[in-house]
Structure 1
Amino acid sequence: MKLNYIKITFATMVVAVAISSCKKQGFLDPVISNDLNETVTFSDSTRTLQFLNSIYDGLGIEAPPKNIDFAGGFPTASLSDEAEGRFAPAGATQNAINTENLSGRFTNVADGVWTKYFQKIRAVNIYLKNVDAGPLSTAKKQRTKAEARVLRAYYYFILMKYFGGVPLLGDDVKDESAPFDILRSPYGDCVDYLSKELTEVAPLLPVTYNGIDYGRVTRGAALSLKGEILLYAASPFFNGGGTTDDDRQIGIIGYPTADASRWQKAYNAFTDVINMPGNPYSLEQYTTKPGDGFYNLFLKRSNTEYVLANMQPANKNMERYLLPPSCGGTGSGQGTSTGFGTAAVSTFERFLDVPSQELVDAFSMKDGKNIFAAGSGYNPNNPYVNRDPRFYYTVIYNGANYMNNTTRAQAPIYTFLGTGQTADAFNTTGTATKTGYFGRKMCDSTVTITLGANTNTCYPLIRYADVLLMYAEAANEVGQTGIAMTQLKTIRNRAGILPGTDGNYGLMVNPSQDQMRKMIMDERFVELAFENKRSFDLKRWKLGEAKLNGPLTGMKIQRIGNTGSNYTFTRVPLTQTRIFTFKSYLWPIPVKELGNNLDFVKNPGW
């Protein structure tokens, strides 16, 4: 790897994302400086912290609504079975990835992920090298170094999710003109390094922050990230499932052989989070309406559920990205990159994803029963009634009420095709929706693009519901199915699902380990939709071939007659036929890396 490929200069090390506290001001307010160098930066306490804060902006790369903020940026929902890209221009990159087409769009994105995360890792090393000689207090030096090390671990982990084992730089900051020949480390070595780092720094971090420091890395974030890394390491693909005929790749893309004891390490790590002193995390609860807690948590800058988040100033980003045209949705966010780059608005227009029928089907009935189960009460001629309350806060469907951008009042959204169709109608070209649905996860239902104040939406990277589901998954794999069941009930209780006479929230009584595994997968699908989890979950579970081959489906809805509310519902395949083979589990290593060093191991199939 050439050093200039992960080069980062002080002139460009500025804060690109504003992170606000409860008082509208936060520790990452924009500060632009063009005269930075190591001597100037680290001899001044304000600039030292500005440098650290600029490292935080890398959290925005993986955050909704544009989970991959390179080459224009696009959400990863459409790389999974939960969504389809709405517009052809936006879908081009997703199409390339979803069909294993190593086009310029795909390679630009893969190269961007690799480059930008290594830039952030090197920036951490610059900070660790210089901060001790600066004017910060001893306590602040210790705390901020711990923050930086957690951020570095997070960025390494993202790289590992995309690429497998990666070069480990340690604390080294090489001169830009020096040879740089560090090769990829075995996957297990990466896991051990990150686990050790997070174990060491967690006690050095506070349990909570208040005021201007709210949003910084906490002890819970360090411990939860450790648990997630260990969970991935124990999961089927990385835990001996990444088989390859190339001896050089064995051990680099995952563990060479499976070891069930890796689940115990993940279980222990999440137990540490659950048992943290002071119980700093809990699920947001509301009693006004079933599911209100699930809805409201995303609209609060400060809440009890966010473990690690990409903090934002007041915004309407999710509304722009997800809402239909009648609500002013454009898919264009605020028109500029929130992570890297300063491209014009046209570059980022129309990167909207629309929910798939597969996601819609995953939501149970309000009593927790699967819609396809006998006696569920599901009516295919009226499919959106009596569903899991989370459905109504995740998906806009035909007839759903939402604030209209023109009338500025609640009005039905119509996606039906045919006589009387609206601008929001189903359309295979994607001028409105390819699937018959629009997303609304994290959107404020009282707000449209021109109506209402900006929201306090910040983007979850790790939230407590995710922690509980990962804890449940690890518990089930170590034989603690009862503990796993408790977590699912907790999640469903907050969701507003009816408990039933047995108090089981529609869940199977006394499930086997395999049955519980399936229930956890299903629960993650609906609870964490549009939070950049599903694509990686399917890969770590080694379900890509089963779930991501062929077309997804949508719902074509047609009105019976010219008026009224009677419709026919027809499931239809979408236009894109996806291709997923073994090589799609990991992304291609940048060509520059392979060309600069012939010993650099590429990923299978690429």
Structure 2
Amino acid sequence: MKAAINYFKILGAGLLMLVLPVSCDTDEFLENANKANLTDKTQWESETNADVFLNDVYSELPNKLNQTETLDYFSDDYNISHYYTASNWRQGVTQIPSSSTDNPWGGTQGPTYGYTWQNFFVKIRKCNTFIQKLTENKANFSEAYFNKRIDEAKFLRAFFYSEFFVQVGGLPVITVPLDRNTMSPEELLQPRKTFQETFDFIVNELDQVVKGEHLAVKYNLSDKDAGRATLGAALAVKGWIELFGASPLFNTATPYLPDAGKFVHFGNVDASRWAKAAATNKQFIDKYGNGQRYNLFGDLKNIFRASNEYNPEVIWDRQVVANVGGMGSSYEQRGGPTYVLGEYRSWGNYNPTQELVDEFAMANGKVITDPTSGYNPQKPYANREKRFYDAIVHDGAIYKQDWMPRADTIYTRIDATYPNPDRTNQIDLVGKTDVGDSGYYQKKRLNPDAAPGADASGQNYIFFRYAEILLNFAEAQNEASGPDASVYDAINKLRARSELPALAAGLSKDAMRAAIARERRVELCFEDKRFLDNKRLATAATVMNKPRHNMVIRNSVPANNSGVWVYTIEEEKKYKVKFEPKQYMSPIPQNVLDQNPGIKQNPGY
């Protein structure tokens, strides 16, 4: 469905259906059937025409690979440059914006990642309009088509709600198109719902989709509907939102700041929330997983590769089409090694912190703080686990992507003998160039087939994959019942894929919690999960309130490098970090509060 979803644009008042170009000829780029003249009547006369509208709803899924800031910029997994909105956020600067904005350049509104108050409700209105119009014109459609497309739209609406809910908390729950010509002010100015009410709406909508069984469980790459909503996607999102809600920041009677309206917490502690999250994720494993329709993909390093789209691990993704303006991905242009084979290739973002690097185990499965692990601080990259080499570019790493004519060796060490250090990958501790400032670059998720460039990559953005289901289940089950055999089984499957031994038997609940957290951070690094984990687990106030660290490598005889290379872990010093409790949730724009008295601001703003 890549052509169907990603080639929809609203052009003026109409819609044009676009298909993959086979040449540079404009006539061949556009489909012969012009949909620009669809009226409200003809739009709903046939399944083909109705699909034009729904495919436009799919196009509302943010192309997150083209966002200037990822959610990881707001976490302790990255060091970032000083000019981003995330750098203000990391210094405790988050303020109420005057209106909806997703400005990534020095803004103060906090993370958005494809969602603002304004564009969120555009997405919801499109979903509601489709559901309403399809229902009004039900006689024009087959029963199978109607049931399937209604559930797709309900899933998309619930998914959009879930994505914005985790950023702001309770939201107005709107299920019909608002019409100022026929509705009263009371009907138009919908009040903000509580955290509980919004949570229940999302979970119940997804539950209805799963129980309806009108959608496919999963699509494969060759399926024409690949990219559309599935039962697997609905159950995965439900399990994630239940885990999110069960977590300490929200599953509490004492919120992080006073919250009289209960917009950012449930208002009570309920241990059964963990059990429900565990049950939903276990339902996925038993009904769809374990090699039935979903399973771990054998080659983790290449799981994101375009040729491996819709492999058994992929549950829900956003399709991306290379080399088409606004529809491709520029992800590789923004990060990875700045200089490759002597040429400037990227902005040098995606700089992993030492804190993240230290979470990767040794090849023997032991953490580096274990005195029996074999870790050597002066040879820190020797004998690490497989995921480390797949994810991290370190000093002295051999770097070879398939688009490169030959391999390169990436050096981040400070070489005082080099005549022009600003044109190398030497660590930039003060942030004056595009070169990375942590001593590391990211490798995971970079497209090995496409050289960095604007819209050059066609790798899809994966929202959820099966590994996360296993991690979600293990965490929730451990909290609900302790480290039973099912928890070990879920985590050990991930470790086995990475050629690590099984976890030691007899772990306490606390020890298992720590083991799961480490596995989660390593397995899902650079997939926009860490920020939300720091939020829901209420750990951001700790980890974001202290400096991150870099790996700085200097020669003991810098004049001619005749000495030894010394590895030193040093604090990041570009700015003073700070995290305010209010930053757990983002502020609501001032113009929203001014226009609707039923919308109340989040705590602390």
- Is the TM-score greater than 0.5? yes
- 1:114 — aligned with what? 117
- In the alignment, the residues of structure 2 paired with residue 578 and residue 177 of structure 1 have an alpha-carbon distance, to the nearest angstrom, of 51
2:129 to 126, 129, 134: 126
Encode CA deviations 1:321-359: one digit per residue, 9 max, x unaligned. 32212236755xxxxxxxxxxxxxxxxxx4833111111
- 2:26 — aligned with what? none
Please tell me whether residue 229 in structure 1 is matched to residue 229 in structure 2: no
On the 8 A contact 1:81/1:552 being kept in 2, the answer is yes
Q: Secondary structure at the match of 2:547?
A: coil
Please tell me whether residue 206 in structure 1 is matched to residue 234 in structure 2: no
Deviation for aligned residue 1:10: 8.5
Change (3 A) 1:252 1:407: closer
- In the alignment, the residues of structure 2 paired with residue 476 and residue 392 of structure 1 have an alpha-carbon distance, to the nearest angstrom, of 30
- In the alignment, the residues of structure 1 paired with residue 401 and residue 561 of structure 2 have an alpha-carbon distance, to the nearest angstrom, of 20
On the 8 A contact 1:19/1:311 being kept in 2, the answer is no
On the 8 A contact 1:319/1:329 being kept in 2, the answer is no
- 1:324 — aligned with what? 337
Change (3 A) 1:19 1:320: farther
Change (3 A) 1:488 1:409: same
Change (3 A) 1:449 1:194: closer
Please tell me whether residue 309 in structure 1 is matched to residue 317 in structure 2: yes
**Letter paired with 1:214:** A
- In the alignment, the residues of structure 2 paired with residue 394 and residue 297 of structure 1 have an alpha-carbon distance, to the nearest angstrom, of 12
**Letter paired with 1:57:** S
Aligned pairs for 1:425-504 (under 5 A) are 425-427=426-428, 428-431=430-433, 432-445=435-448, 448-449=451-452, 457-482=459-484, 483-497=486-500, 499=501, 504=502
Change (3 A) 1:14 1:535: farther
1:157 to 162, 175, 179: 162
- In the alignment, the residues of structure 2 paired with residue 121 and residue 604 of structure 1 have an alpha-carbon distance, to the nearest angstrom, of 25
Q: CA RMSD in A?
A: 3.0
Aligned pairs for 1:132-211 (under 5 A) are 132=135, 133=137, 135-175=140-180, 178=183, 179=185, 180-202=188-210, 203-210=213-220, 211=223
- 1:341 — aligned with what? none
1:400 to 397, 402, 423: 397
Encode CA deviations 1:60-82: one digit per residue, 9 max, x unaligned. 35x3x35xx4xxx3111110000
Q: Secondary structure at the match of 2:41?
A: helix
On the 8 A contact 1:15/1:57 being kept in 2, the answer is no
- 2:506 — aligned with what? 510
Deviation for aligned residue 1:405: 10
- 1:95 — aligned with what? 87
Please tell me whether residue 556 in structure 1 is matched to residue 552 in structure 2: yes
Change (3 A) 1:196 1:96: same
Encode CA deviations 1:29-73: one digit per residue, 9 max, x unaligned. 999965555334223433321221122223335x3x35xx4xxx3
Change (3 A) 1:241 1:429: farther
**Letter paired with 1:296:** N
**Letter paired with 1:258:** V
Please tell me whether residue 84 in structure 1 is matched to residue 84 in structure 2: no
Q: Secondary structure at the match of 2:315?
A: strand
Deviation for aligned residue 1:317: 3.5
- In the alignment, the residues of structure 1 paired with residue 528 and residue 15 of structure 2 have an alpha-carbon distance, to the nearest angstrom, of 26
- 2:24 — aligned with what? none
On the 8 A contact 2:124/2:160 being kept in 1, the answer is yes
- In the alignment, the residues of structure 2 paired with residue 13 and residue 565 of structure 1 have an alpha-carbon distance, to the nearest angstrom, of 69
- In the alignment, the residues of structure 1 paired with residue 540 and residue 384 of structure 2 have an alpha-carbon distance, to the nearest angstrom, of 27
On the 8 A contact 2:437/2:550 being kept in 1, the answer is yes
Greater mean deviation of Cα atoms: 186-195 or 381-390 = 186-195
Change (3 A) 1:195 1:18: farther
**Letter paired with 2:599:** F
Change (3 A) 1:14 1:364: farther
Deviation for aligned residue 1:196: 1.4
Deviation for aligned residue 1:600: 2.1
Deviation for aligned residue 1:385: 1.1
Encode CA deviations 1:356-397: one digit per residue, 9 max, x unaligned. 111111111111111111111111111111111111111111
**Letter paired with 1:400:** A
On the 8 A contact 2:217/2:293 being kept in 1, the answer is yes
**Letter paired with 1:587:** S
Encode CA deviations 1:405-440: one digit per residue, 9 max, x unaligned. 998211210111132355111012152011111111
Deviation for aligned residue 1:181: 1.3
- In the alignment, the residues of structure 2 paired with residue 182 and residue 429 of structure 1 have an alpha-carbon distance, to the nearest angstrom, of 46
1:52 to 22, 46, 54: 54
- In the alignment, the residues of structure 1 paired with residue 92 and residue 513 of structure 2 have an alpha-carbon distance, to the nearest angstrom, of 29
- In the alignment, the residues of structure 2 paired with residue 221 and residue 513 of structure 1 have an alpha-carbon distance, to the nearest angstrom, of 30
- For normalisation by structure 2, the TM-score amounts to 0.83
Deviation for aligned residue 1:207: 1.2
Change (3 A) 1:121 1:423: same
Q: Secondary structure at the match of 1:213?
A: coil
Aligned pairs for 1:231-246 (under 5 A) are 231-240=243-252, 243=255, 246=258
Q: Secondary structure at the match of 2:224?
A: helix
Q: Secondary structure at the match of 2:398?
A: strand
1:538 to 528, 534, 537: 534
- 2:581 — aligned with what? 582
1:42 to 41, 44, 52: 44
Q: Percent identity?
A: 28
Deviation for aligned residue 1:241: 6.0
Deviation for aligned residue 1:130: 0.6
Encode CA deviations 1:282-338: one digit per residue, 9 max, x unaligned. 0011xxxxxxx110111122200011111222466443232212236755xxxxxxx
**Letter paired with 2:152:** E
Q: Secondary structure at the match of 2:362?
A: coil
